[in-house]
Amino acid sequence: MSGQLKNEVNNSSEPTLKKFAEIKNKHIGIATQSYYVNDAQYASVLTREFDILTPEYQMKMGQVQPQQGVFDFGEADKLVSFARKNNMLIRGHALIWHQSLPDWVVNGHFTKEQWIQIMKDHITKTVSHFKGEIYAWDVVNEAFYQNGAFRPTVWYDNIGPEYIDLAFQFAHEADPNAKLFYNDFDTEVTNPRSNAIYKMVTGMKARGVPIDGIGFQTHLKIEGVDYSEMKKNLKRFGDLGLDTDITEMDIVTHTFAGTQEERLQAQAKVYSGVIQVAMSLPSCKSVVFWGLKDGNSWLNKYTGFSEYPLLFDNNYDKKPAYEATLNQLKL
């Protein structure tokens, strides 16, 4: 057998996350950037293991509409063609958010009608540009505070709470086949924020607003995760007929006392528990991790610690968290 052929056979028989996820009719993905996928080793691990890609930054408004009416989809298009070439689904992220906005929005003074038009133009142009390429969009991201109050944002302050219904309607008009999600963090268990989302989405469904799912970001730390509470909480959304996907999972390690090895083992247990919940719920159709390898994680900068939140280390070696995830997918 030639070396190359041997390699292919080895590769094809290697257990991978996506092979086992597929057997369960689930998808498994990574948030990434166009400049990461240029690295051959990165790209080979990404495409070997995962079948969904979420642009970590490059579909946000600050990137795609830097000036009013001037759209730049260049970097996002690179990710779309990478995904298409490698048979990966794409989650679009995120149309309406309070962060990563262009200056003309942050500093803008417009009437309410103009703000609605700005939102409509942004959503319509962006969703239409990627029509047919993106299977699910995070339409509105992080609209609530932890206490369940609406977060005051440029959209909320200038349009009012109806900006959420409008955003979903505009997205649906632009691509009726895309699944439309509301996405937020610290919502994994029942708490004031997830209750506020539950109330919002119940109202949206009653009003006929086109919403298909809730994205549970699942930025966790090792301590204090209650899996049965998580299951109960996701299930109540699933019972409304919504998808309940895990959209940005990572697990901070520096807060956990112990050696590095103990931290990584404890982290693996949390991965295992969460993936078990996700696999047990028919409404949970995909799990996306917020980066491929530890060095890529936003948490390094955000926490100020060298962080180890993901499934692969910086040499692309599989961490205990990877093995724990794979083992849950195999069950």
Give, as ranges, the residues between 169 and 188 that touch ligand 9MR (CB under 6 A): 185
Which one among 22, 48, 57, 195 touches ligand 9MR, defined by CB under 6 A? Answer: 57
Geometric angle at alpha carbon 237, from 235 and 239, rounded to 5°: 70
Give, as ranges, the residues between 203 and 222 that touch ligand 9MR (CB under 6 A): 217
Q: How far is the CB of 59 from ligand 9MR (least distance, A)?
A: 10
Sequence letter at residue 195:
N
Classify the C-alpha dihedral 203-229-279-307 as positive or negative: positive
Q: How far is the CB of 37 from ligand 9MR (least distance, A)?
A: 15
Q: How far is the CB of 291 from ligand 9MR (least distance, A)?
A: 7
Q: How far is the CB of 185 from ligand 9MR (least distance, A)?
A: 6
Length of the chain: 331
Q: How many residues bind ligand 9MR (CB under 6 A)?
A: 11
User: Would you state the structure tokens that stand for residue 63, as one six-digit string?
Assistant: 């990137």
The yes or no reply on residue 67 touching ligand 9MR (CB under 6 A) is no
The yes or no reply on residue 34 touching ligand 9MR (CB under 6 A) is no
**Class of residue 6 by CB neighbours under 10 A (exposed 0-12, middle 13-18, buried 19+):** exposed
Tokens 């597929």 map to which residue? 22
Evaluate whether 309 touches 250 at the Cβ level (below 8 Å). yes
- Cβ proximity to ligand 9MR: between 245 and 248 the closer is 248
User: Would you state the structure tokens that stand for residue 24, as one six-digit string?
Assistant: 């369960």
Query: Which are the catalytic amino acids?
Result: 142, 248
> CA 21, CA 8: separation in Å to the nearest integer?
21
Alpha-carbon 6 to chain mean position: 36
- Asked if the peptide bond before residue 40 counts as cis, ω within 30 degrees of 0, the response is no
Q: How far is the CB of 287 from ligand 9MR (least distance, A)?
A: 15
> CA 195, CA 101: separation in Å to the nearest integer?
27
Which one among 86, 100, 191, 276 touches ligand 9MR, defined by CB under 6 A? Answer: 100
Q: How far is the CB of 33 from ligand 9MR (least distance, A)?
A: 8
Coil, helix or strand for 115? Answer: helix
End-to-end CA distance of the chain: 33
The yes or no reply on residue 18 touching ligand 9MR (CB under 6 A) is no
The yes or no reply on residue 146 touching ligand 9MR (CB under 6 A) is no
Closest residue to ligand 9MR, Cβ-based?
298
The yes or no reply on residue 99 touching ligand 9MR (CB under 6 A) is yes
Span near ligand 9MR by CB under 6 A; candidates 3-11, 54-62, 102-110, 305-313: 54-62
The yes or no reply on residue 298 touching ligand 9MR (CB under 6 A) is yes
The yes or no reply on residue 327 touching ligand 9MR (CB under 6 A) is no
**Class of residue 229 by CB neighbours under 10 A (exposed 0-12, middle 13-18, buried 19+):** middle
Give, as ranges, the residues between 234 and 263 that touch ligand 9MR (CB under 6 A): 248
Contact residues toward ligand 9MR (CB under 6 A) are 56-57, 60, 94, 99-100, 141, 185, 217, 248, 298
